[in-house]
Every structure is written in C-alpha cells, then in structure tokens.
C-alpha cells in the first residue's frame, strides 16, 4: 500500500518511540513526495525530534487514490501518523500535533514556544497568496505567458499588494530580530509552517504567475536560504515539478509534459543579486563564496 | 461551488461572528451531508455556540471532486471554516478548533473542559472498530450475508473483543458518573467526538457486519439515546444511506442501488428491549412511553 520513501534511524535504543508518518505522494509518481503543506510541516517537526535522538521516524508516501490506501485508512487523509507500539493511529492534525507536542515537552525541545506577534505576521500570508494565484490565473487564461504584474487590473493588483505587504512584514520582523529562525536560533513550529509556504510561493510564483518574492526583502531571502540549509526542510521538500503539478491539478490547468517527464529537481538556490546583498549586509556569515 | 445546506441564524446582532463551515457532501447526492467525522464534530461544536447566541453559523456541503471546489480551495479538504469578516480561512483542524476554543473561552462556554480519564476511554474505540471492520469485511468477501460473530476465526475475534471491551469501559464510566453527557450535564468536545463515532459503529455494524452494540450496555445505549435527542447531533447527522455509502466506497465494496436510490432515512431510535431496560433502571426520567 505504501512505498517506503525513507527510513531514518539514528541509534538503536528501543526506548525511543517509533513514529511512522504517511505523507501524500506526488500525482506524477507515487514514489515521490507530494506538495501537501501539512505533511511537510509535521515531517519537519518529526525530523527535529529525530535529529536530537528523541524519536525514531519513518516516512512513507501513499497514493491516496489507490484502493489499498482507501481500504487501509477508511477515508482518513494524510498526514497520518502511526505509533504501532501504542497501537495508535493519529489521523487528525490536532492529534498528530498533540503527540509531537508531548514528546517535545517531555524532552525539553523548544519546538512549540509561543509568539503571538510572529503568529500574527504569518497567518494570512498563504491565504492571500492563494487569492492572488486564483485571480491571476483566471485573468491569464488563454494567454501564452503570464501577464506582467504592472499591467494587472486593480481588483487583482489588490491581492498582489497584500501578498507583498505581508512578505514585507515578515522581512521587517526578521530584520528586527536578527535571528536565524523566526523566534531564535533554533527551529520552531512557526518555521515548519512558514518555510514550506514561502517555498511554494516562490516556485509557483515563478512558474505560473511571473512573480518573484521582491529581491529587496534581503532578510526574508536570507531566511529562505536558511530553509535551504536546514536538513528538516530539505529532506521533506517535494521537487519543483511535484509542487507545480499539485497546483495545476487543483486549478484544472493543462498539464504539459514539462513537469511529468522531467527528472525531478529542487530549486534550493537564491538569486545571485540577493545572495550578494546578504553577503554585503553580513547577514549570513557563512555565505562567502558562491 | 457550494450548495447552501442550511442557514442558521438566531437573532440579528452584528457583533456575533459569522462562521461558515464547509462540510463534505455525500457521494450519493452532493446536496446531502456526507459521513466525515471531523465535519460532524466541528458542526456540533459550532452548533453549541450558535444555540446560546455566541456565533452565527452557516453550514455548506461541498462536492470535493468538483473542479469548482478544487479551484476555490486549492487542495484543502473539508472541514474548512471561513470567517469572512476577518478574512480568515481555517483549513486545518487545529486552526478550526483553536478558533472555536477561543470563542468558547471568551463566553465561558464549558465546551473544552479537560478530563484525561474520559479521553483515555474513548481514544482507541474507533481505531479498533475500523480494524474489526476491515478484517471482517475481508473475511466475509463473497458471502451473501455477514458471518456470525461466534463463527469468526480467532484473529478476527480479537478485534471484535477489543471493540466490545472498549464499549464496556465507556458504559461503565457512564454508569459511575450518572451524567447526561460524558463530563456532566452539558455537552463537551468529547461528546462531539464520541457521539458520531458511536452512531457510525451502530449503523455500519448492523448493515455490514451483522454486529450490534451489545444490548446489555444500558448506560451506553442511554447515552446514544441522548445523542438522538441533542439538536447539535441530529442536525449534523448524515442519513444512514450516506454513512453506509461512505464506508462501502472506502472499502471498494459493491454499492447496490439500495443506498443510492432509497429516500434518505436516519436511524435515531434504539431497540425496544434496551429502551425498556433504560426505563426500568430509571436512567432517562423522560422515557415513559414509546
């Protein structure tokens, strides 16, 4: 039913709980990870526990349209987490997070620190991006290339402006805090939420909208660069083609063979100019050469 | 995109937040409610807030396979809650519950009281029922009628025994507490979780498994009767046919026209014998005639 995608194991202590995470497969190839944001979010959180030896983690991709999957999980949708030892299946995001939360608490992992001001800045970003995406794709229907943002009618531009405003707010927050992650120097649930969403915005922006995250948001780009250097993010990140395919499918857009036949690739680099700004501002001390 | 299923409104104060809940439609008829347990759970919680005038609530059924739905929600799955006023879309069970939790807290509605011992008793019930269901349906494949529980091989009977054991634990808890709902005389999130699951177990037990909740669990049956007299449950409850269709679809069972062509009906009565036991034990003072 499920193809083992990755088996991770560090150390052999039997006292560590084994958590199996079932994530949605790509619509292109069921052996590849799909672009479900909740799946990546929990995978990143579990990876954080795995890294410091708190849990053993196995991730499996599942084809949700297969009869075997439906029969085994009777209507539940990924992410699904199983803890065989306790005979527990967590099919609800609340339950999955609850279990991870308790493990983090037990081992003093600061994964769930609260920060209402950071929460406020990130909560609307993705919703507004989706509104912009839908409106612009509708507007561009039939065109060969995405229209330029400058030429958009006011009712679509308003969505674009909101997305930029929110990206700017996050850039500002990061510039004030001067931290590697949103709350400090270690990853929290907010990063597990924001990093995958920023990456989707970037990949879909470029491929479907003729839109890129503004290059002057240096702190935000530096944060994206941090994602690209964070194992929890890299491991759990779907290929560009699988992200694009996911959105095209939802919007009923013509899927050309560009995505489905290409070898999967992951864009984990940032524009040269931005990288040079980051270097100039001394934001990432380790960014010296490119 | 969405068919308005029910518009509920009590009073016209504008200060009350308007919460729109999108629930999964039945696979038989997109105008009817489907059998998604999380959708019913949140609907019941929202109903509790609506009943006491804390929120305005609108529920809409959506056909998740329609292009219009996919395009509008880009891959999100019901339950989805929208609060237009705040321009917020809650697509994650954690977010939906978070919003309901805060409203309940603000108005002192005891919907989220914690009770670890009740939680423990209900957490495994539904998982074990699904294991029993899957194993028995597999075993009965090709048979005209479901086999009798007594004739089951040991490896399937073990699942059956677990379900009965857990039902018995809940019966016991209710008999000790002598309360109308799990924690007391008003409904909490535990009831919103347990009541729909018990009802599914009952409907699927009878129709697909030749299994009924044991009739000697009088306190448990009395609790089921309470569900059938609770507006939040009745309003949000799918028809028997839609519940059966949901499970048949997941298990890839032959769907005969019995469910799809029948007028939808809801089993909200309990067996005569059980009703008489409830009366004899004086559990439900209002159960006098039948």
pLDDT of residue B142: 86
pLDDT of residue A169: 97
DSSP tally for chain A: helices H, then strands E: 12, 5
pLDDT of residue B5: 36
B61 within 8 A of B99, measured Cβ to Cβ: no
Per CB-CB distance under 8 Å, the chain A contacts of B249 are 70
Contact call for A134 and B75, based on CB within 8 A: no
B259 within 8 A of B28, measured Cβ to Cβ: yes
- Tell me whether domains B2-111 and B113-228+269-280 share a fold: no
Spell A131-161 as b/e; 16+ CB within 10 A means b. Answer: bbbbbbbebbeeeeebeebeebeeebbebbe
pLDDT of residue B200: 98
pLDDT of residue A6: 38
pLDDT-wise least confident of A139-148, A281-290, B157-166: A281-290
Q: Where are the domains of chain B?
A: 2-111, 113-228+269-280
pLDDT of residue B15: 80
Separation CA B180–CA B277 (nearest Å)? 17
pLDDT of residue B244: 96
Our CA angle for B188, B73, A192, nearest 5°, is 70
pLDDT of residue A202: 98
B30 within 8 A of B63, measured Cβ to Cβ: yes
Return the higher-pLDDT residue of A289 and A206: A206
pLDDT-wise least confident of A120-129, A174-183, B187-196: A120-129
Separation CA A265–CA A151 (nearest Å)? 31
Q: Is the pLDDT of residue B3 over 80?
A: no
**CATH, domain range B113-228+269-280:** 1.20.1050.10
- Here the tokens at position B171 are 């019966």
pLDDT of residue A287: 60
Neighbours of B265 (CB within 10 A): 9
**CATH, domain range A2-111:** 3.40.30.10
Q: Is the pLDDT of residue A3 over 60?
A: no
For chain B, percent of residues with pLDDT exceeding 70: 92
Beta bridge partners of B83: B88
Under 8 Å CB-to-CB from B58, ≥6 apart: which residues? B4, B6, B7, B8, B18, B19, B20, B21
The pLDDT tens digits for A76-130 are 999 999 999 988 999 999 999 999 999 999 999 999 999 999 999 998 899 999 9
Interface residues on A facing B, Cβ-Cβ cutoff 8 A: 36, 38, 67, 70-75, 77, 87-89, 92-94, 97, 123-124, 127, 130, 133-134, 246-247, 249-252
Averaged pLDDT score across all residues of chain A: 91
Contact call for B74 and A127, based on CB within 8 A: no
pLDDT band with cut points at 50, 70 and 90 for residue B117:
very high
pLDDT of residue B219: 97
Interface residues on B facing A, Cβ-Cβ cutoff 8 A: 35-36, 38, 67, 70-75, 77, 87-89, 92-94, 97, 123-124, 127, 130, 133-134, 246-247, 249-252
Under 8 Å CB-to-CB from B275, ≥6 apart: which residues? B225, B287, B290
Q: Is the pLDDT of residue A7 over 80?
A: no
For chain A, percent of residues with pLDDT exceeding 90: 78
Q: Is the pLDDT of residue B62 over 70?
A: yes
């Amino acid at each position: 039913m499920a193809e083992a995608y990755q088996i991770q194991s560090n150390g052999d202590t039997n006292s560590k709980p084994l958590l199996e995470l079932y994530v949605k497969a790509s619509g292109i190839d069921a052996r590849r990870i799909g672009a479900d944001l909740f799946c990546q979010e929990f995978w990143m959180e579990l990876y954080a526990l795995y890294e410091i030896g708190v849990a053993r983690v196995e991730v499996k991709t599942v084809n949700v349209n297969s009869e075997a999957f439906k029969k085994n999980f009777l209507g539940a949708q990924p992410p699904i987490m199983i803890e065989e030892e306790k005979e527990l299946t967590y099919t609800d995001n609340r339950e999955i997070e609850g279990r991870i939360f308790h493990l983090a608490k037990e081992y003093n992992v600061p994964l769930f620190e609260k920060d209402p001001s950071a929460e406020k800045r990130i909560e609307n970003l993705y919703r507004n991006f989706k509104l912009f995406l839908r409106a612009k794709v509708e507007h561009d229907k039939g065109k060969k290339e995405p229209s330029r943002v400058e030429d958009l009618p006011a009712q679509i531009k308003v969505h674009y402006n909101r997305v930029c405003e929110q990206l700017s707010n996050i850039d500002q927050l990061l510039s004030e805090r001067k931290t590697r992650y949103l709350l400090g120097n270690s990853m929290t649930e907010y990063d597990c939420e924001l990093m995958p969403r920023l990456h989707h915005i970037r990949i879909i922006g470029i491929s479907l909208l003729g839109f890129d995250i503004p290059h002057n948001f240096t702190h935000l780009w530096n944060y994206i660069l941090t994602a690209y250097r964070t194992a929890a993010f890299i491991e759990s990140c779907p290929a560009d083609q699988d992200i694009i395919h996911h959105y095209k499918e939802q919007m009923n857009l013509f899927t050309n063979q560009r995505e489905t036949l290409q070898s999967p690739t992951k864009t984990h680099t940032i524009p040269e100019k931005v990288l040079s700004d980051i270097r100039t501002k001394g934001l990432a001390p380790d960014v010296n050469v490119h």
